Structure 1
């Protein structure tokens, strides 16, 4: 399971939870599955309380996902939770982000958390459409097996990954530290994951 902020503003928050589950059928066989939720919380007198749950609703898988999608799904250095994998199968990630994801996997092992579904439609607390909704972004919670949020994860590993993403074409990249350059940003929401977004589809 991976959990990350989807937004934080005042006494309101969005926490995105991507998970795997295994269900034992009556005949004893095990069915693997999972999904993602956008969990909304508000801070009250007694602490934080869950106010809403928004489940991921991936589109139907394409009969033929296409070469790029198949390569992303089959890559042994790209780890996709069930909802993110379903997004790729449904074609809800544009070609260019998939190309960059594959290029990054040449140098890094990548644990993706969120692609499209399971993320707030708008940038939290605004009316601006999210790049996840535009199918032009993916979030990463671990690089080379090291979690972004862990204090012991080398800064040079995360910084190098972000710079490599920008060099490959990402236009809006967020993480736990502010890097120099107009493509980078950092805030409280991105202490626990990396946001890799694009402004082109091809």
Structure 2
């Protein structure tokens, strides 16, 4: 696949007052305290809107205006909302800063303010990667948090976010996806490591990629768009997106970068880092994780993904049939998104 020019991105929404910095939150959050969030009632474009109802939290910041910081909340239907909330709060803290408070040391201090031990906070700040672009100020706005894997005492939460920045007098769109690793102890879920997306440089778009970017019914977050611009996404993925967009509006969460290299908890390579899979977190404006979302809609979408050539379709519904015995699957990891994978 040929390499693409920079993607035109929609502006990150109406500019708000000069106020950015998220308040602190408890480091290990109990599940009971995380279950009261509600999903957004307006299905805005994924590149500018968080999934769940959010609350602006602000302090004064001089310089060009950035969108207000929005504290993400898990909605109904989450299996382990505390794990997602712990992951998101750290990403929000590391990736949001007002003018004059950038840099690794300040990021470590923001992580420590969440109650993370100072040594671990410094280690996590050093792992921020694409979550810490060079800029005078930045603000993270989480689009979605989905599982990369969930076991009894370990988890991977993929935090998909916009991250507009300003430097000098210029405000620029941006964003990344962070694979946040967590472990659970008697005191709750805590982050142990970060693996931010690293999509690589852009190149020239081939025809399938141009069609994907031109299709308004395919919503791509920043890291997924960068994956496609980088040319490492298989054409089978792009053609399937286009085929599905003929019937559905699909909000993509993850394509290649920002996903675990192996299927979580195993040593089997995942199709995502190979550019042969994509995940969808919202169908026609309805989050997959929301119990109010029609199981019929999700089931029909999964079958349409199989008809588009996917050999491996996972989601919150266990479907019968399929071209092979294992074409459809369901587990806790996939209760919040639909996985669509392809062979080489």
Q: TM-score, normalised by structure 1?
A: 0.95
For residue 114 of structure 1, the aligned residue among 251, 254, 265 is 254
Counterpart check, 1:56 vs 2:197: yes
Counterpart check, 1:199 vs 2:343: yes
Counterpart check, 1:91 vs 2:213: no
The answer to whether the 8 Å contact 2:175/2:222 transfers is yes
The answer to whether the 8 Å contact 1:172/1:197 transfers is yes
Aligned mates of 1:154, 1:9 — CA distance in 2? 26
For residue 184 of structure 1, the aligned residue among 328, 332, 335 is 328
Counterpart check, 1:12 vs 2:150: no
The answer to whether the 8 Å contact 1:3/1:17 transfers is yes
For residue 172 of structure 2, the aligned residue among 28, 31, 39 is 31
Aligned mates of 2:171, 2:221 — CA distance in 1? 18
Runs of 4+ residues deviating >3 angstroms: none
Counterpart check, 1:170 vs 2:310: yes
The answer to whether the 8 Å contact 1:81/1:113 transfers is yes
Q: Secondary structure at the match of 1:113?
A: strand
Aligned mates of 1:18, 1:74 — CA distance in 2? 22
Q: Which runs of 5+ in 1 are unaligned?
A: none
Question: What is aligned with 2:18?
Answer: none
Question: What is aligned with 2:70?
Answer: none
Deviation at 1:25, TM superposition (A): 3.2
Question: What is aligned with 1:47?
Answer: 188
Aligned mates of 1:66, 1:21 — CA distance in 2? 27
Aligned mates of 2:283, 2:241 — CA distance in 1? 12
The answer to whether the 8 Å contact 1:139/1:193 transfers is yes
Greater strand share, structure number: 1
Q: Secondary structure at the match of 1:72?
A: helix
Aligned mates of 1:23, 1:196 — CA distance in 2? 32
Aligned residues: 198
Aligned mates of 2:223, 2:172 — CA distance in 1? 15
Deviation at 1:10, TM superposition (A): 2.4
Higher mean alpha-carbon deviation, 65-74 vs 144-153, is at: 65-74
Deviation at 1:122, TM superposition (A): 0.3
The answer to whether the 8 Å contact 1:6/1:120 transfers is yes
Larger Rg over CA atoms: 2
For residue 3 of structure 1, the aligned residue among 145, 148, 172 is 145
Deviation at 1:11, TM superposition (A): 0.5
Q: TM-score, normalised by structure 2?
A: 0.57
The answer to whether the 8 Å contact 1:73/1:88 transfers is no
Question: What is aligned with 2:42?
Answer: none
Q: Which runs of 5+ in 2 are unaligned?
A: 1-142
The answer to whether the 8 Å contact 1:141/1:147 transfers is yes
The answer to whether the 8 Å contact 1:122/1:129 transfers is yes
The answer to whether the 8 Å contact 2:147/2:157 transfers is yes
Aligned mates of 1:116, 1:85 — CA distance in 2? 10
> How much is the aligned-residue C-alpha RMSD, in angstroms?
0.9
